[in-house]
Structure 1
């Protein structure tokens, strides 16, 4: 009797999850734009590529990949200048969303994909916006959680007040510039995620933050102009897009998503309850359910 009939779906799903989780332990590497990127993958079918945020890497998606691999080929990679890739404080800044967006396009091509679904968080979602605006024909759908696309706030009457919420990042940047990562990382996380966000993180997540500090040190020292994502760029993206916010994240992220919602032609929006910015840590089940339901439709 086929296994799908011999076992109830919940039991079968548990077996598949255990099997695909084991498979995901193998870190592979692929050459993209002259740079080697590490990635893991699970499942078969149409590709979904996961793009992590700042102070993170492919491991951010460890809990998500087995669930998404039940329907798709789920691939999580580490962006340029993030663990375990070659890293340097003089390397590519985390905020170089245009560069990371081109890497995403090249990654898809290196796999032989003409079109992809993208699930992305924070600065990874910012990179995904640049990718989608530059290569709209490569996008099946996007699921973007709180991209720091501050260019969307340009011209808003209260934008200066909104940006003041992130004034606390200055001490974090100075600490990272000076090499004081033990002070700089908690300062950064607690501004972006809200007071106590760093202290609530697991030891594994704190280690991941430390492993990926080079890209933020590059941010703190780079003279490279920050790329600006605009409403006109958003209007080019016609693929279905799920915009998500965390219930308790800083107001800035909500205002950015407000503007994206107004500019993107084909978008849906969801708020993840009981969470603050890094929804995959604070409320992974609610986040996963929202994104999986979106991908089933698109």
Structure 2
């Protein structure tokens, strides 16, 4: 593990392999360990740099303070990439990290060569989805999970979050290592309730100029597949890949296929 001083914070990251840089951004409750299943294959062709965002493991945050914001994490990733050579870099984000990567591509396309969005998280505004009731789903789940965590019921809060994305009973079936990673980052849910994340708009999607690949799991539940279906047609030239038999953490459930898809896209 290494660190870079970014906007007054020491951002931890893993740096493995050689070649053109591929910066990887984890999602909610993740950290640089999120990408363990694919670090080996990806690092055979790229220098893979997996970051831990502000307040995630190895920090054990207490949930206090007001700097857990979407804008702060986007600014941190931009400042981090600005210190990486050579540029432009390839950028890959999963879930909430996909939202961050999307916003980085909006703000600083000059830093990026290609963009991979693995089921990016977030909400859609009325220009992309005229049916707002579904928009409450992710926010309500985060709030319910965060309330449990704040009351000291860590596993109860994580169960609400995990089962809501990967299906009923997923938390119970998860392995010990996966559960521990989520526990290590549980209090970041408290910050996420008030992160001020803006919904995607059609104009946002149409502003993305970086060559983009969307990757999804064929069996992912909930609202996330709809995010990809709404965004991908509006991003000029975007490619989409769906991995059969996998869900939201598709790079853990089908790592070989995920790596083949990503590496082919980055090489094209």
TM-score, normalised to structure 2, is 0.91
Cα distance change on mapping 1:164 and 1:228 into 2, 3 Å: closer
1:139 Cα shift? 1.3
d(CA) in 2 for partners of 1:209 and 1:164? 20
Task: Determine whether 1:286 maps to 2:257.
Answer: yes
Q: What is the CA–CA distance in structure 1 between the aligned matches of 2:257 and 2:126, rounded to whole Å? A: 28
Q: Tell me how far 1:208 sits from its aligned partner.
A: 0.4
Q: Is the 8 A contact 1:101 1:129 kept in 2?
A: no
Q: Which residue of 2 aligns with 1:17?
A: none
What is the match of residue 101 of structure 2? Answer: 128
Distance 1:295 1:50 in 2: 13
Question: Residues 153 and 296 of structure 1: is their aligned pair in 2 closer, same or farther, counting only changes over 3 Å?
Answer: farther
Paired residues of 1:28 and 1:39 also in contact (CA < 8 A): yes
Quote the Cα distance in structure 2 between the aligned partners of 1:192 and 1:233. Answer: 25
Partners of 1:28 and 1:201 lie apart in 2 by 28
The answer as to 2:49 corresponding to 1:75 is yes
Deviation at 1:227, TM superposition (A): 2.6
Deviation at 1:166, TM superposition (A): 7.1
Specify the alignment match of 1:190 in structure 2: 163
Structure 1 counterpart SS, 2:58: coil
The structure-2 alpha-carbon separation of the partners of 1:87 and 1:162, relative to structure 1 and needing over 3 Å to count, comes to closer
Q: Measure, in 2, the Cα distance between the counterparts of 1:45 and 1:142.
A: 17
Shift of 1:251: 4.1
Consecutive unaligned residues of structure 1, counting only runs of 5 or more, are: 1-26
Determine which structure has the larger helix proportion and give its number. Answer: 1
Q: Is the 1:136–1:239 contact (alpha carbons within 8 Å) kept by the matching residues of 2?
A: yes
Contact kept, 8 Å, 2:26 with 2:34, in 1: the verdict is yes
Pick one of 191, 210, 229 that aligns with 1:218. Answer: 191
* Structure index of larger Rg: 1
Q: What CA distance in whole angstroms lies between the structure 1 residues aligned with 2:67 and 2:162?
A: 17
1:90-140 Cα deviation digits (max 9, x unpaired): 24677x333222211111112244311012110011100111100111111
> What CA RMSD, in Å, does the superposition of the two structures yield over aligned residues?
2.1
Distance change >3 Å, CA 152–CA 117, structure 1 → 2 = farther
Q: Which consecutive aligned stretches of 4+ in structure 1 deviate over 6 angstroms post-superposition?
A: none
State which drifts further: 144-153 or 56-65: 144-153
TM score, norm. by length of structure 1: 0.83
Of structures 1 and 2, the one scoring higher in RCO (CA 8 A, sep 6+) is 2
Q: Give the total of aligned pairs.
A: 268
Partner of 2:72: 99
How far off its partner does 1:229 sit?
3.1
Spell out the pairing of 1:250-269 with structure 2 (5 A cutoff).
Answer: 250-269=221-240
Change (3 A) 1:265 1:280: same
